[in-house]
Amino acid sequence: MINVSQPSLGVEELAAVKEVFESNWIGKGARVDAFEAAFAEHIGVRPENVATLNTCTEALFLSMKLLEIGAGDDVVLPTTSFVAQANAIAAHGARPVFCDVDPRTQNPTLADVQAAITPATKAVMVLHFGGYPGEVEQIAEFCRERGIFLIEDSANSVASRVDGQAVGTFGDIGAWSFDYAKMVVAVDGGMIYARDPKLIERARKIAFFGLEQESNSSQAERHANRWWDIEVSSFGRRTIMNDVHAAVGHVQLTKLPSFVAHRRSITERYDALLAGVPGVVVPPPLPAGHENSYYFYWVQLPEGIRDQVAKELYARGIYTTYRYTPLHRVGAYGADVSLPKAERAAECTLNLPIHQSLTESDVDTVVAALRDVLANLI
């Protein structure tokens, strides 16, 4: 099966894990600190502006608490988003207000966001679909002018930039994912960024039971007496990362430039081979100054055939999918709105395989199969 996504792990990651095992400390420790520092450098911020967590989802949930978003507040987000975004909002008593998206990039435009703003809007949350930064600069400026928080779900965009600035750092809070399907894999895990380092200080405490200090050997070295005593400042839970995951993630981060280069070459090959294929629309070009992570490669097909195309490709050993189902159609969120651009895109878009292990031969196989299937359907 040619997978739509898969991790690229090797001997370097195994060696890093072996070192952690041999240290006899596999909890949160020096490897977590090193990973945080390396990631901070990668996105161009100071280490005190970031903290690791067990998932990106936890970063999104935590953003609600840090920004004191709750009952009576509205949060605008694109309907073409991952369910974790809307869950984080709704779970804290706030109302998800879904906005439309550009049907080609599947990112919200500034106009889409503005159309969804209500008097109760306290925050805007955006996803950079497939690694495309979208209109994040314009949306960030609008939010600053209106006194609205901006939260960036950068799970798709670990290497995306606009004029050299890392996506995820334009708003008040950014969140990244390191799960099995992402470009930087830490087995599982997440990272949260906050413009205000005091929020990260608070996030660290909430992520470890709300304790004012941890109780472990490193604390014992800094406290001569009764390092085991505790003081609780908030009612948190345990959502920290450990040294095993951090060691894997740190190695993966060093490989990220080569991962991006490979994905770029795969994208260029898809673009070239699919150019002029009847019924196929490839992703749009990037605006000047934008850098892509190449997390997704998607095509848009004539109305009414996408599902059949996916089924026939799967029968030929090619796994495709569609990300993300429009959330305003999910009954749990209680949305009663029509978002025609997102709805149209959701019925014709198909994600093709793209990952670091994909070969040129694999791409040729995917394209040949897609051409053959379409020839019988159009």
Per-residue pLDDT tens for 22-49? 999 999 999 999 999 999 999 999 999 9
| Segment 308-328 mean pLDDT | 97
CATH number of 11-253: 3.40.640.10
Residue 230 pLDDT level (bands cut at 50, 70, 90): confident
Q: State the pLDDT at residue 368.
A: 98
User: Residue by residue, what is the 3-state secondary structure of the chain?
Assistant: CECCCCCCCCHHHHHHHHHHHHHCCCCCCHHHHHHHHHHHHHHCCCHHHEEEECCHHHHHHHHHHHCCCCCCCEEEEECCCCHHHHHHHHHCCCEEEEECCCCCCCCCCHHHHHHHCCCCEEEEEEECHHHCCCCHHHHHHHHHHHCCEEEEECCCCCCCEECCEECCCCCCEEEEECCCCCCCCCCCCEEEEECCHHHHHHHHHHCECCECCCCCHHHHHHCCCCCCCCCECCCCCECCCCHHHHHHHHHHHHHHHHHHHHHHHHHHHHHHHHCCCCCCECCCCCCCCEECCCCCEEEECCCCCHHHHHHHHHHCCECCECCCCCHHHCHHHCCCCCCHHHHHHHHHEEEECCCCCCCHHHHHHHHHHHHHHHHHHC
What pLDDT does 87 receive? 98
Single-letter amino acid, residue 324:
Y
Counting Cα atoms < 13 Å in the Cβ hemisphere of 128 gives 37
Fold of 256-377: Aspartate Aminotransferase, domain 1 (3.90.1150)
The pLDDT value recorded for residue 106 is 97
Spatial CA neighbour of 142 closest among 114, 101, 106: 114
Q: What is the pLDDT of residues 92-118, one digit of tens each?
A: 999 999 999 999 999 999 999 999 999
Among the listed ranges 167-181, 219-233, 284-298, 354-368, which one has the minimum average pLDDT value? 219-233
Q: Where are the domains of the chain?
A: 11-253, 256-377
What's the residue count for the chain? 378
Which string of b and e fits 150-165 if b means at least 16 CB within 10 Å?
bbbbbbbbbbbbbeeb
What percentage of the chain reaches a pLDDT higher than 70?
Answer: 97
CA distance 79 to 96: 9
Q: Which two tokens stand for residue 261?
A: 């280069």
pTM of the complete model:
0.95
Q: Is the pLDDT of residue 225 over 90?
A: no
- Does the pLDDT of residue 52 top 80, yes or no? yes
From the candidates 28, 122, 182, 255, which is the catalytic residue? 182
182 is an active site residue: yes
Query: How confident is the model at residue 228, as a pLDDT?
Result: 82
**Pairing relation of β-strands 121-127 and 149-153?**
parallel
- pLDDT single digits (tens) 265-309: 999 999 999 999 999 999 999 999 999 999 999 999 999 999 999
Longest dimension (CA), the chain: 77
Residue 230 CA to residue 214 CA, distance in Å, equals 8
Q: To 5 degrees, how large is the angle CA 116–CA 119–CA 123? A: 65
Buried b (16+ CB within 10 A) or exposed e, 175-200: bbbbbeebbbbbbbbbbbbbeeeebb
User: In this predicted structure, what is the pLDDT of residue 216?
Assistant: 52
Cα within 13 Å of Cα(114), Cβ side? 11
Q: What is the pLDDT of residue 290?
A: 98
